[in-house]
Amino acid sequence: MPAARELFIYYRARTADAHALQSEVLALQRRLRALQPGLEARLLRRPEPADDWQTWMETYALPGHPDGVSEALEHTIERLAAETLSRWSPARHVEVFVPCAC
């Protein structure tokens, strides 16, 4: 059985856009949780900006689902993000991680 996939998506955004971006991302995450019951979504950012830019991170996990976040759900997340967030930060970097079998 494959390990449960989790997504970590990071990008940079201007500090001046932080409030509006946060509202948009949280709305996106609410929409995604409605589409996929059980989806856990978090929004994080580095505490200090660099040259008036902040680094942001979204995380997505699907606990209890043996495969975690499927590739289909990953594509949905990125499609909806492209529709709503591209004006704030067009360069999103998606990383997939799985739990370690320790």
pLDDT in tens, 4-60: 999 999 999 999 999 999 999 999 999 999 999 999 999 999 989 889 999 999 999
E strand or H helix that includes residue 95: strand 93-97
**In the chain, where are the structural domains located?**
12-53+62-90
**Which residue matches tokens 């998506």?**
9
Burial zone of 60 (CB within 10 Å; 0-12 exposed, 13-18 middle, 19+ buried): buried
Cα Dmax for the chain: 45
- Which is more confident, 90 or 45? 45
